[in-house]
């Protein structure tokens, strides 16, 4: 098999990035540090070529045909340990530690599992920065600020852990074969690890029906008087919608409901 005879496999989300301007923009946006690079889905190696020029790369590729091809394209880089290719499903590999040193994730992700991969990287303490290409709509959700219609639990989780912004929007013509949707590269610079699971549970409830009021969503799980007290303390209007509440208010809301809950359980009704 040579590079010209490769037929993209839909089931693996294969859309190969061919636009050199976009490839260079990804390299320019990489945070400057000594971290290793993890690339998920090197594909035909178009991004990998640029990455191995700047850093050593640990790559994960599920397609065995592409793994063979990559081993022949990057023989020298593999021999000199600039590149190590793990052939297999990255989500299986992630069941234990993916890499045992600090790393930045830089990848043009397979879109069918992109959100899952980003959430795993956000939760992985070894992952320090995430620079990835995904579907534009998904990038906008991770990067949204409160008030925007697409602000949701992914935005709150991301903002709780670091800062995110879109680096460049990418049209379908940049890929071979072209996908049906627009894409975007975005960067998350982490400054802490993933928030606690109970907080994320509360977010799930809060955004269950995004167009309803936040109060209506929360009432499915939380006690009405407890919520009224929390709203009063935070100065939130009863009609506020989930996307209108800031990340710091979500954290406050979580803290208050937990401490009020705790006081109720212990029978302490004093303020």
Give the nearer residue to ligand SAM in terms of CB position, either 47 or 256. Answer: 47
Report whether the peptide linkage leading into residue 158 is cis, meaning its omega lies within 30 degrees of zero: no
- Is residue 242 at the binding interface for ligand SAM, with CB under 6 A as the rule? no
Per-position x/- string for 44-63, each x denoting binding to ligand SAM as judged by CB under 6 A, each - no binding: x-xx------------xxxx
- Is residue 41 at the binding interface for ligand SAM, with CB under 6 A as the rule? yes
Closest approach, Cβ 29 to ligand SAM, in A, equals: 15
Q: Nearest residue to ligand SAM, using CB?
A: 41
Report the DSSP beta bridge partners of residue 14.
Answer: none
Closest approach, Cβ 267 to ligand SAM, in A, equals: 51
91 to 130, contacts with ligand SAM by CB under 6 A? 91, 108, 110, 113
- Is residue 182 at the binding interface for ligand SAM, with CB under 6 A as the rule? no
- Is residue 135 at the binding interface for ligand SAM, with CB under 6 A as the rule? no
- Is residue 42 at the binding interface for ligand SAM, with CB under 6 A as the rule? yes
- Is residue 74 at the binding interface for ligand SAM, with CB under 6 A as the rule? no
Give the nearer residue to ligand SAM in terms of CB position, either 133 or 230. Answer: 133
Stretch that binds ligand SAM, among 88-96, 123-131, 148-156, 201-209 (CB under 6 A): 88-96
What φ, ψ does residue 149 adopt, rounded to 5°?
Answer: -60, -35
Residues that bind ligand SAM (CB under 6 A): 12-17, 40-44, 46-47, 60-63, 66, 89-91, 108, 110, 113
């Amino acid at each position: 098999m040579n590079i010209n005879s490769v037929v993209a496999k839909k089931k693996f989300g294969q859309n190969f990035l061919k636009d050199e301007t976009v490839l260079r923009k990804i390299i320019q946006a990489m945070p400057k540090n000594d971290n290793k690079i993890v690339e998920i889905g090197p594909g035909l190696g178009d991004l990998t070529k640029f990455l191995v020029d700047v850093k050593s790369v640990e790559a994960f590729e599920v397609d065995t045909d592409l793994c063979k091809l990559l081993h022949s394209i990057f023989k020298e880089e593999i021999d000199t340990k600039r590149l190590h290719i793990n052939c297999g499903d990255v989500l299986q590999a992630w069941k234990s530690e993916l890499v045992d040193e600090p790393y930045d994730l830089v990848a043009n992700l397979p879109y069918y599992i992109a959100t899952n991969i980003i959430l795993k990287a956000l939760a992985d303490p070894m992952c320090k920065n995430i620079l990835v290409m995904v579907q534009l709509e998904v990038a906008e959700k991770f990067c949204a600020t409160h008030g925007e219609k697409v602000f949701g639990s992914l935005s709150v989780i991301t903002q709780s852990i670091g800062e995110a912004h879109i680096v460049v929007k990418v049209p379908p013509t940049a890929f071979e074969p072209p996908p049906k949707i627009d894409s975007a590269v975005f960067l998350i610079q982490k400054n802490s690890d993933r928030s606690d699971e109970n907080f994320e549970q509360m977010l799930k409830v809060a955004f269950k029906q995004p167009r309803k009021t936040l109060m209506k969503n929360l009432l499915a799980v939380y006690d009405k008087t407890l919520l009224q007290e929390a709203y009063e303390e935070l100065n939130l209007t009863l009609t506020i919608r989930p996307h209108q509440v800031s990340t710091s208010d979500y954290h406050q809301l979580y803290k208050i409901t937990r401490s009020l809950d705790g006081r109720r359980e212990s029978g302490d009704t004093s303020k």
